[in-house]
Structure 1
Amino acid sequence: MIQFLRSSARVALLGMGLLAGTATTASAQLGIGRPVGRQIADAIIVKVDNQIVLRSDLEIAYAQQVAQAQGKPLPPDLRCKILQSIVLNKLMLAKAETDSVVVEDSQVKNELDRRMAYFVQQIGSEKKLEEYYNKPIKQLKDDLRPQVKEQLIQQKMQETIAGKVAVTPREVRQYFSRIPKDSLPYFSTEVEVGQIIKLAQVNPKAKEETIAKLNDIRARIQAGESFETLAKQYSEDPGSGAQGGYLGFFKRKELVPQYEAAALKLEPGQMSPIVESQFGFHLIQLIERKGDSYSTRHILLKPATGGSDVNEAANQLTKLRRRILADSITFAKAAKDNSDDKTSSGNGGLLANRQDGGSYLPLDKLDPAIFFTIDTMKVGSITPPLPYRTDDGKDAMRIIWLKSNTPPHQANLKDDYQKIAQAALNEKKNKALDEWFLKNRGSVYLEADPQYADCKLLDAVN
């Protein structure tokens, strides 16, 4: 395996599953169940205090690493290295438990929502994702929640241990000089792409029509019709609509404030007035309270956007594009101040590489819509406004900027400083994690299947 890519392997394993797009199948990426067609005879192979490692944990992680190698040679002890990293994860979880390190429920929910939105985008729709797993979205989230919570705790522990580690330019150069010339990787074409997105704002008339329709539904429920039946018929929330609007139990601060505030004013069985949130307009029925948790069902209607709404978004982007091309504002500043895509706006509009967090994107990994858009563009050019639909189905327009286009080349400090610096940083973080492991390995009980004795799990992870 190429050396300076290998240095980041442990950090990647520590966050396995948080970065979507690293596995060979949707099942492996999402972290629910096992890859289709893969049967693993499961058993506990390692215990770290109350934490366990299953054989399937190791084999799925191994399959992911094989897939990422894309045919390149793999070290013969790769399974041991992966298991060492998993054991380090479990040690961090065990220490987090004794040190009372926790993550907020809202953080877990946000990560679940982020990951689910990504996979809905990849597979095409919520319905297709539910059909793939034969489970509703709510059940998929419930199945995934414990794993995501563990990963966020591991991430928090890792940040505590190595979060302040940094590298200097001199250390980056020294790191690069240690890589044998015949081990330098060859990078395919990479691009930097920026975008500015403007959502089509719903006009007042569409809002009024939606509210009127929802008031009619509310009156029908008050007249005796079933909330659940009408939710199945009218709700535009694909995750809960088919379940009669049922959302299940949530704790305080897990749902958007407007929804939660309205729900908590109700008594079990009561229905709310119409509530507006960022998702649209809701009718909410409280089902039950349990401690600081509560369960509800709802009917969601989303005001439709028309051609004039989309045109207004396009007009705003056209004016913004003219200013950028006239050098009266930079693309990065325009994206930060105007883009409705908060993920990229904080990065100057640049799309992030999910693998390393950088801005350089392999051409063959681009979203097809972007690939075919930039295929004939010159570096520095910006498209006119283009139609776009967000992950949650909202109509929008966007402009796309081709910042750079780097042809295939062997790694060098000039073109690949960002990647090399990240690899050097990962190596330094790995060293800090190794030192922490050596210091804390004696504070936990560890038992491993004799089959993995040669992996030396209580040694430093290297």
Structure 2
Amino acid sequence: MKSINKLVLVAILIANSTLGFSQEIIQDEEKKEEVLKEKKIINGRVKADGVAAVVGDFIVLDSDVDRRTAQIKAAGGDLGDITRCELFGSILEEKLYAHQAIQDSIVVNELQIRSQIDQQLQGILAEFDGSMDKLLEFYKKDSEDALREEIYEINKNQSLATQMREKVIDEVEITPEEVRQFYNQLKKEGLPTFGTELQISNIVVIPQVTEASKQVAINRLKEYKKDVEENGASFTTKVLFFTDDTASKSTGGLYTLNRKRPRMVKEFRDVAFSLEEGQISEPFESPFGYHIILLEKIRGQEYDVRHILIRPEITPDAIEEAKNKIDDVRAKLVEGLITFEEAAKEFSDEKESREEGGRLINPVTQDFNFELTKMDPDIYVQVQNLKDGEISEVIQDADRENPIKFKIMKVTDRINEHEADFARDYLKIKRLALQNKHFDALGKWQKETIESTYIKINGEYKNCEFSGNWLKNR
């Protein structure tokens, strides 16, 4: 089995770092060679001998590698034994993907990218003790606006690179026979070992929301809509003050929906796609609560929307009723009056696990097994002391849809650490095989694209040994 090489690690570190490197673009083909050969100033500030590479329309500066290293370390990343050449090679890859994305007319959501800048800037400022002057000095910028533009360009090109990678692997599929061949190859090279796994079941009881609470939420949303439409109030300001959607609050409730790639729940999509630009929906219900949506812009298949979410208040009586119900279910289980599977199907409010007799599905592997060392920390804490077959005490919990819920849990099966088995671990082996095929597809694409793209490596990096043919055998 192919192992993930150090360049993949570099890519992960780069994705987690706060800022990237300079984004100067050379549009004129004739100027590309001049940049490398003449003592000329680019944009009035960068000397030609500071240019480390040109990849298509992009340049990489010597200082970019130093700054990228500092940023990864500042963000808590560990470069380990990754060399300067390897880091530089990963930067070249990122630029290659971004360049080709532009050639393929891949577009980015400018509104969404700009909406992330405030949050990013606050995170960066924290590393400089909140001093904008120190931050501007580090990034060699004359003003906050100039820094914001650089952050925007960085985000945009990272988005282009990501979309290009996704496009390359989007149509890669794998057949059962390919999975078998991959497994047989693993047997020759040495089968991987999978850690201890648990199968977990739960029964969930959710306090019911009263009709009166629902109506209060609806009336609040109607007031916000009226204030925006009749009094010119800011929808975004309403989001910042009133929404219960913490995930989108910092971006003013912004989401981008694509008709071809479903995102958000069906109720949300159906309303969003029925609106016209500038229109605000009537209040509607989803599993998360009640919403109103403002459709800001339609761009082909993409819809930029903002929304306000209000969760109806859950009354103390409803909470007490749910707690009494789960206590009663647990008592019946302990007394042996009903099996856990029967109780889940009859009493549990969690649709995803109810029909499976309470068994939880691993969202990563799509099977019922949870590897102990990779388990969600919240679930791990709740089951770590349970013996097989033991019923937990009642646990008060919460999730994105429910601010309060009660549950009882049970470990139904424990699979000890074992060598990969084709029948038992088919889904895991399939995932590894598909990942391996993705690497092959990306490698083939990169090789072909390097050959057809203008690339020039300068200075010390000519002596690097790259994993790709960046030097084109020169």
Query: Which residue in 2 is equivalent to 1:150?
Result: 161
Q: Sort the Cα spacing of 1:371 and 1:226 in 2 relative to 1 into closer, same or farther, 3 A.
A: same
Unpaired segments ≥5 residues, structure 1: 18-22, 35-42, 117-126
Q: What is the match of residue 276 of structure 1?
A: 284
CA distance in 1, matches of 2:349, 2:108: 28
Does the 8 Å contact 2:361/2:367 carry over to 1? no
Measured in 2, the distance between the counterparts of 1:68 and 1:378 equals 38
Q: Which residue of 1 aligns with 2:469?
A: 459
**Larger displacement relative to structure 2 (90-99 or 435-444):** 90-99
Counterpart selection for 1:373 from 374, 377, 382: 382
Q: Report SS of the residue matched to 1:373.
A: helix
Q: Which amino acid aligns with 1:153?
A: M
Aligned-partner Cα distance in 1 for 2:327–2:16: 35
Aligned residue number for residue 447 of structure 1: 456
Task: Indicate the residue corresponding to 1:304 in structure 2.
Answer: 313
Q: Distance in 2 between matches of 1:360 and 1:398?
A: 19
1:207 aligns to 2:214 (yes or no): yes
SS class of match (1:402) = strand
Q: Kindly tell me: are residues 441 and 231 of structure 1, through their superposed partners in 2, closer, same or farther at Cα, counting changes over 3 Å?
A: closer
CA, structure 1 residues 294+46, in 2 after alignment: closer, same or farther (shift >3 Å)? Answer: same
Take 2:397 and 2:291, find their aligned partners in 1: how far apart are those partners? 25
Q: CA, structure 1 residues 370+68, in 2 after alignment: closer, same or farther (shift >3 Å)?
A: farther
3-state secondary structure, aligned to 1:447:
strand
Question: Following TM superposition, by how much is the alpha carbon of 1:220 offset from its aligned partner in structure 2, in angstroms?
Answer: 7.2
What amino acid does structure 1 have at the position aligned with 2:19? G
Q: CA deviation at 1:7?
A: 1.1
Which one of the candidate residues 346, 351, 361 is aligned to 2:371?
Answer: 361
Of the candidates 3, 12, 34, which is equivalent to residue 7 of structure 1?
Answer: 3
Residues 64-102 of structure 1 deviation map (CA, whole Å, 9 limit, x = unaligned): 9x9689xxxx7x6665556555545544554454455x4
Which 5+ residue runs of structure 2 have no aligned equivalent?
21-49, 127-147
Letter in 1 for 2:214: K
The answer as to whether partners of 1:258 and 1:277 remain within 8 angstroms in 2 is no
Tell me the distance in 1 between the aligned counterparts of 2:443 and 2:87: 14
CA drift of 1:204 comes to: 1.2
Measure the CA separation in 1 of the matches of 2:434 and 2:257: 38
Q: Which amino acid aligns with 1:459?
A: N
The TM-score normalised by the length of structure 2 is 0.56
Q: 1:330 and 1:32, CA in 2 relative to 1: closer, same or farther beyond 3 A?
A: same
Q: Write the mapping of 1:368-447 to structure 2, written as runs, cut at 5 A.
A: 368-379=377-388, 383=392, 386-391=395-400, 394-402=403-411, 404-405=413-414, 412-414=419-421, 423=432, 426-427=435-436, 429-447=438-456
CA contact (8 A) 1:202 1:309 kept: yes
Deviations 1:7-27 (A, max 9, x none): 13479569x56xxxxx6xxxx
CA distance in 1, matches of 2:215, 2:258: 30
1:390, CA displacement in angstroms?
A: 1.5
Against the structure 1 CA distance between its residues 401 and 219, is the aligned structure 2 distance closer, same or farther, given a 3 Å change threshold?
Answer: same
Corresponding position: 1:33 with 2:43: no
Distance in 2 between the 1:388 and 1:433 partners? 42
CA RMSD of aligned residues (A): 6.1
Q: Give 1 or 2 for the bigger CA radius of gyration.
A: 2
Q: Counterparts in 2 of 1:72-83, with a 5 A limit?
A: 80=85
Cα separation, 1, equivalents of 2:305 and 2:53: 40
1:207 Cα deviation (Å)? 0.8
Q: Quote the offset at 1:157 in angstroms.
A: 0.6
Distance across 2 between alignment mates of 1:90 and 1:357: 37
Q: Structure 1 residue 205: deviation in Å?
A: 1.5
TM-score by length of 1: 0.57
Determine what percentage of the aligned residue pairs are the same residue: 16
